[in-house]
Structure 1
Amino acid sequence: MNGFDPRHGRFGQALAKARQRAGKKQPELGRKLGCSAGHISHIENGRRKLDESVVSDVDDFLGAKKRLVRLYEEIYQAGRVDWLGNLHRTQIESEMVREYQANLFPGPLQQPKYAKVAVSSGGPWLSKKEIQQRVDFRARWQKDLLREDGPRYHVVLDDVTVVRPIGPPEVMRDQIDATVKLAETGRIVLQMHGWDQHPHAGLDGPFTLITSVGAPDMVHVESIYGGSQSDTAHDVRNFGMLFSTLQATARSPQQSIAFLKEMRQKYE
């Protein structure tokens, strides 16, 4: 295809950035693929599509740590993408994660009982086995992300996450206790955003900003049916502004811990 295709343009831009970060020239990548530098230029300019069969080899050659592979799947194979698995892998490989959640505690922070209620409530069609698999996945996610040498994790939660119980009092107590412990030990930076605070930059829903060494910053935007990721500078910058606003209008970390402890008493 000689004309510009937005999908090709998005992948081509990511390919060019990965090549430049790796210190490779277009002719070098061309030799690796057995094609001309001009063909590589067309791919990076969005006028050609990189053949699926070589995506993994290109990713390895440029040291992209499977980011090109995941982006290719997201763009061209949307119906087959394991978006939650992609988010998990991207987060645990990152240097810093900044996340906003409007209704539920984030997956990596969810305790087993809380996760079971959240999964079963949001997916009443799931079997018991499928529910347990998703609960177990969240437990592995927490272990991987919150490990001692893991990425810095800063989360802003809307008050709704604790004001509105999603299950019995003991479920909410256990979840609050575990979250407070993480915040008090300094493993996470936690801020609670008051429901009456404005401007409220999180009205459109959850999102996550991910910063990695040797890779472009990325934003993940989540909905009830799935998630999408983008590393375009425009998207990352805009969501970075939203997160900064949420930080500024939320309670301080110390005030947030105090608020959670107050809410915990209400579930006694």
Structure 2
Amino acid sequence: MTEAMEKDISDVRMGRALSRYRKGTGLTQEQLARRLKISKGLVSLFELGKRKVSAPLIAELDKHLRAEGRLIRVHKDLYAPDEVDWLGQLAQHQMEAELIREYQRLHVPGNLQSPSYAAAIISSGAPWFPPDEVDERVGTRRERAQRLLECPTPHYHVVLDDAAVRRPLAKPEVMREQCATLLEKLESGRVLLQMYEWGQYPHPGVDGSFALIAAPAAPEVLHVESVLRGQTSDDPSTVRRYGMLFSRLQAAARTPAASADLLRRLIEEYTV
């Protein structure tokens, strides 16, 4: 077994984050060790992913490396993911935001889903859910979306790939209702929606969906979501890179007016 395989992947990722922040402050391993009153060798083991960093020590490291809580959040995500209500945290981030920029490649964003479409998405992705749990999750999703969209802010900019509405993920009547819901949100002016045309390349969103959430009193964060859980990062360089991707997606997407025309055509196509 190789040395890399023997190491815990969470320890490796934590070590890389520590190394990045230490170098960002200009500190050497020896200087950081003196501040923490530990050995330089121990700092090296942490950064190499050969020794797990305890929660109390990560708080000290966060302070000395001026990470503003980012290292603490990384530590929690890596070592206690089941304790993190990431859906609740995401909803809270969104409610506190001034601007949300979201790109979705395969399906309509949760905040813009019609009830029947949300039920189809949830039951398709988790067929083990009984009907009552699907209903409960649809209700929670709708409540969060209503709270978010009934206020004038956050400003909500969405780029939605054509595949999300052209590929039927449910019955025609469900897709028709979903397209009508998107059209209503777009025409109301509450959401700036642009459809990304099928067949364009190079495609800045090929790696998957993401959201950028900017609040007045907090760093902008990047959120990416998987089937099981979501991950959030406020690393400035990562956020900037995804901001550039979103700008490219917006620039190449249809205008809101052209997007509305597409949705009207799709509503007709899904009418049976």
TM range (shorter): 0.7 to 0.9
1:249 corresponds to which of 228, 236, 252: 252
* Cα distance, 1:198–1:133 mapped onto 2, change above 3 Å: same
Partner of 1:154: 157
Partner of 2:122: 119
2:14 corresponds to which of 7, 16, 26: 7
1:184 corresponds to which of 184, 187, 190: 187
Partner of 2:133: 130
1:233 to 2:236 alignment = yes
Question: What CA RMSD, in Å, does the superposition of the two structures yield over aligned residues?
Answer: 3.6
Q: CA deviation at 1:150?
A: 2.7
Provide the C-alpha distance between the structure 2 equivalents of 1:109 and 1:6, rounded to a whole number of angstroms. Answer: 34
Q: CA deviation at 1:180?
A: 0.8
* Cα distance, 1:69–1:142 mapped onto 2, change above 3 Å: farther
* Cα distance, 1:68–1:211 mapped onto 2, change above 3 Å: farther
Instruction: Give the letter aligned to residue 117 of structure 1.
Output: A
Structure 1 residues 203-244: Cα deviation after superposition (integer angstroms, max 9, x where no partner): 111100111111111111122332211100111011111111
Q: Indicate the SS of the match to 1:130.
A: helix
1:168 corresponds to which of 161, 171, 174: 171
State how 1:6-25 maps to structure 2 within 5 Å. Answer: 7=14, 10=17
1:144 to 2:147 alignment = yes
Provide the C-alpha distance between the structure 2 equivalents of 1:10 and 1:143, rounded to a whole number of angstroms. Answer: 37
Provide the C-alpha distance between the structure 2 equivalents of 1:205 and 1:173, rounded to a whole number of angstroms. Answer: 25
Instruction: Give the letter aligned to residue 252 of structure 2.
Output: T
Q: Is the 8 A contact 1:11 1:71 kept in 2?
A: no
* Cα distance, 1:13–1:102 mapped onto 2, change above 3 Å: same
Runs (4+) of structure 1 exceeding 4 A deviation are 8-14, 46-52, 66-72
Structure 1 residues 7-39: Cα deviation after superposition (integer angstroms, max 9, x where no partner): 38859999xxxxxxxxxxxxxxxxxxxxxxx56
Q: Is the 8 A contact 1:96 1:211 kept in 2?
A: yes
Q: Is the 8 A contact 1:199 1:249 kept in 2?
A: no
Can you give the 5+ residue segments of structure 2 that lack an aligned partner in the other structure? 1-10, 22-34, 37-45, 60-67
Q: Is the 8 A contact 1:207 1:222 kept in 2?
A: yes
Task: Give identity over the alignment, percent.
Answer: 41
Number of aligned residue pairs: give it: 240
1:222 to 2:225 alignment = yes
TM-score by length of 1: 0.76
Provide the C-alpha distance between the structure 2 equivalents of 1:173 and 1:69, rounded to a whole number of angstroms. Answer: 45
Structure 1 residues 100-153: Cα deviation after superposition (integer angstroms, max 9, x where no partner): 001110011111111001100111011222211211111012112212233000
Q: Is the 8 A contact 1:198 1:249 kept in 2?
A: no
Instruction: Name the larger-Rg structure.
Output: 2
Structure 1 residues 38-73: Cα deviation after superposition (integer angstroms, max 9, x where no partner): 56xxxxxx9996856xx8xxxxxxxx9x99986653
Partner of 1:80: 83
TM-score by length of 2: 0.75
Instruction: Give the letter aligned to residue 14 of structure 2.
Output: R
